[in-house]
Structures are given as structure tokens and as C-alpha cells.
Chains A and B, each alone.
Chain A
Amino acid sequence: MAAPAIKSRIPAKAKKGEIIEIKAQITHDMETGQRKDAAGKTIPRRIINKFVCTWNNDVIVSSDWHTAMSANPFVTCYALATDSGKIKLTFHDDSGEVYEQVTDITVE
């Protein structure tokens, strides 16, 4: 599998107290462990099992994912704009790898 890439849509600026929308997508096969390859061997499970969104290291939303999440998961969540800083999206792979993306946001 190619290295997962994270795409996100997060506003660069927000007013204090505004609720902003965070959209994120990661390219990932989300292999369920149910499928078999051409030789009839089961393809081992490998999914993103956890997604966390933090704002200046405070957790906004965290979530546990199971095999029923689609391939290339595309998610939407919300955050209350409090102060300028960094929004970090973290995806935890079954393999132990962690993929991150950090976006700067200015709050006026």
C-alpha cells in the first residue's frame, strides 16, 4: 500500500466562539481481514483504528474505528474556535504507524 496521504479542509481564520467545520480524508485501503487474495489466502486486517483531532494539544474529538469504516475514510467533525494555534489530525494504523497533519489557524 502506498504511504497514506492526508487531505483536510480547515479554515485558516475563524472568529472567537465560532464553530468551525473540519473535514479530513486519508488514503488507506482499510483492509477488513475478510477478503481473500487470488491464491485464496486471507488478506490480514489493516485499518486505521483511531482518529484524534486536537487544538493546541487539547482533544476536540477522538474516535475508535472498526472495519465497517470505508476505504479512504472521509470524516467531518466540528470544533469551537478558542485561540490561535495548531489543529492536529492524527490517524493510528493497525501496523502501529501514526499519520499526522498539522494546520495553523488564526482566531480573531
Chain B
Amino acid sequence: MANKVQGWSRRDVLAVAGAGAVAVAAPRTARATPQEADDLVKKLVGGAAAKEGKVQLKLKDVAESGAAEAVAVAVDSPMTAADHVKAIHVVAEGNPAPGVSSWFLTPRSGKAEVAFRMRLAKTQVVRAYAVMSDGSVWTAKQEIKVTIGGCGG
């Protein structure tokens, strides 16, 4: 068998190729974890427990490009002086840094909605948090599949 003559079996080649893939992947482990995302959220919204609901996180299930994926966050709120959204935070669990952006709204914002484009390093869960004027915290999350990451390197 030609492979044997050269001292490489098909199995050897695959084993080495596999090891190479691991070596290439290893330096890329500098990613945030859900735990780091949780820590950041604690810093952003304080100790209040986030309840699911009120927040609508609009993003695609599969990202077209990890470099600039459209994200919109809308919160169910009348936006009056007595009852409005004070802050919207967007956090990514799988990017090198979990913070994406924090938006601080006022009754003058009229509508509790923001939209922007974000980078996604890999397939991951994106979370949105809304802090209300009464101090309650609401959240929504969604997984987004990413085939081409957008954090360079």
C-alpha cells in the first residue's frame, strides 16, 4: 500500500490533521462565557432578578455575516414620566467581550426601541435586558447561528 511505504497510514494522517486543528483552535479560546455575561449583567442592572417578558429581541436565527448583524430591541412601555424604560443592555455570550451596548432612555425618547448592527464571533446566545423606572428588570434571549465570525484575527 503506497501509504504504508511512506510511513503514513490514512489513520496517522487523520490523527495529525486532527491535532493540527486543535492547535489552531486553541489560541482562539479567548471568548466570553455565559458566566462572564452573567457577571457583566450583574454590574449593569444590579442585583435585581430579571424576569422574562416585555422585551422583544429582534434578530435573525442565522446571521448573514458575523461582522454586521442587525439587532433591534423593543420594550413594551408607555414611556411616560411615571413609567418608562431607563436602560436597555445587549449582551453577547460568545464574543471576546460580552458587552455589546447599553442604551439610556428618557420619557423624551417616546418609544422604547433601539436598533444597531453588531459583531458575532461565533454561534451564540444574545441577550437583551430592560431596566424600568420602577427598578424591575426584564429580559429576552435568542440563539443566533454564525457561519462567518466577525471579530477579525
Contacts and interface: CB of A to CB of B under 8 A. Distances in A.
Interface of A: 19-20, 32, 34-36, 55, 58-82
Interface of A is mostly: strand
17 contacts: A20-B110, A32-B152, A34-B96, A36-B153, A63-B104, A64-B102, A70-B68, A70-B69, A70-B118, A75-B116, A76-B113, A76-B116, A78-B109, A78-B113, A79-B110, A80-B109, A80-B110
B107 A80 contact: yes
A71 B68 contact: yes
Given A68-B99, A70-B150, A79-B110, A61 B105 contact: yes
A60 B119 contact: no
A68 B115 contact: no
Interface string B91-127: 0100111011111111111110111111110000000
Contact of A69 (B79, B111, B118, B153): B118
Given A19-B110, A32-B152, A74 B116 contact: yes
Given A32-B152, A58-B108, A64 B101 contact: yes
Contact of A70 (B79, B105, B106, B119): B119
Given A55-B108, A61-B109, A64-B101, A75 B67 contact: no
A75 B115 contact: yes
A75 B114 contact: yes
Give me the 4 closest cross-chain CB pairs, A-B, nearest first: A80-B110, A35-B152, A70-B68, A19-B110
Interface in B39-97: 67-69, 72, 79, 92, 95-97
Contact of A61 (B92, B96, B104): B104
